[in-house]
Amino acid sequence: MTRSRSGKWSRRRSCFASRPPKDRGRRQVSTRDLSAGFKPAPSLARGSIHEAFRAAGVVLCLAVYANPALAHDYAIGPLKIGHPWARATPPSAKVGGGYLSIENTGSELDRLVGGSTEAAARLEIHETSLSDGIMRMREMTEGVPIPASTKVELKPSAVHLMLVDLKAPLKQGDKVKATMVFERAGSVAVELQVQGVGAPQPTAPEHSGH
């Protein structure tokens, strides 16, 4: 309150009086807008954004681990081993088949020469081939060559792993620990996921368990 020269007192707003801060970047809603049915969009709090990203990360991790093809890759030196798996066997079967892919990203030839597994007495490398209309199988005693810059597939009705003298039947959902031995790269531990009877399988009449 200030006093003029005439002696009258009057109220004058001080320049230092507090004023409500302006909300920059946000639309000012008037009474007319509200009467017209305008509803301002709710703002997303910073904490909500963090929670959304965290939830998305959890979903992505679950998707990766739920897919066995994404979760079962191995590497040793320049060799990449992809998705080792086996087929379930009947209760009386004494042999089973194992399958995987091997990619050589290096510049030198390597060779899969053998391996071992806790599920059987021996792990051998076999090849199934068609000769004169008859499916035949032989052991590859010299192993499987893995040329440089090449991917080799061990699959049904072709080159595959043979689990000989099974200690117990292979059941769907089991994980069979095995060791692959390479001539140059050395040894690497892998797990073969046992899939059901509906999984791809060889047509060879011999060794019905693989």
What tokens appear for 187 in the block? 């040894």
Residue 19, in any domain of the structure: no
* pLDDT at residue number 204: 38
Counting the structural domains of the chain, the total is 1
Rg of the chain in Å (alpha carbons): 35
CA atoms within 13 A on the CB side of 103: 8
Residue 125, in any domain of the structure: yes
Instruction: Average the pLDDT over 18-24 and give the result.
Output: 53
Instruction: Average the pLDDT over 111-125 and give the result.
Output: 98
Q: For 75, list phi and psi in degrees, rounded to 5.
A: -150, 145
| pTM of the full structure | 0.62
What is the identity of the amino acid at 25? G
Q: The domain spanning residue 167 has which CATH number?
A: 2.60.40.1890
Residue 16, in any domain of the structure: no
Residue 201, pLDDT > 50, answer no
Residue 27, in any domain of the structure: no
pLDDT band, very low/low/confident/very high, at 91 (cuts 50, 70, 90): very high
Residue 192, pLDDT > 80, answer yes
On average, the pLDDT of the chain sits at 77
Strand 175-182 to 110-117 pairing = antiparallel
CB atoms within 10 A of CB 104: 24
Residue 155, pLDDT > 60, answer yes
CB atoms within 10 A of CB 127: 16
Give the Cα separation of 169 and 176 in Å (integer).
11
17 or 96, higher pLDDT:
96
Residue 39, in any domain of the structure: no
pLDDT band, very low/low/confident/very high, at 54 (cuts 50, 70, 90): low
CB atoms within 10 A of CB 204: 20
Residue 37, in any domain of the structure: no
Give the Cα separation of 85 and 99 in Å (integer).
5
Give the Cα separation of 123 and 116 in Å (integer).
5
Residue 128, in any domain of the structure: yes
What tokens appear for 199 in the block? 């999984």
132 or 42, higher pLDDT:
132
pLDDT band, very low/low/confident/very high, at 144 (cuts 50, 70, 90): very high
Instruction: Average the pLDDT over 150-158 and give the result.
Output: 95
Range of the domain at 96: 73-195
Residue 66, pLDDT > 50, answer no
| Residues 96/205, Cβ–Cβ less than 8 Å | no
Residue 43, in any domain of the structure: no
Instruction: Average the pLDDT over 15-39 and give the result.
Output: 53
* pLDDT at residue number 124: 98
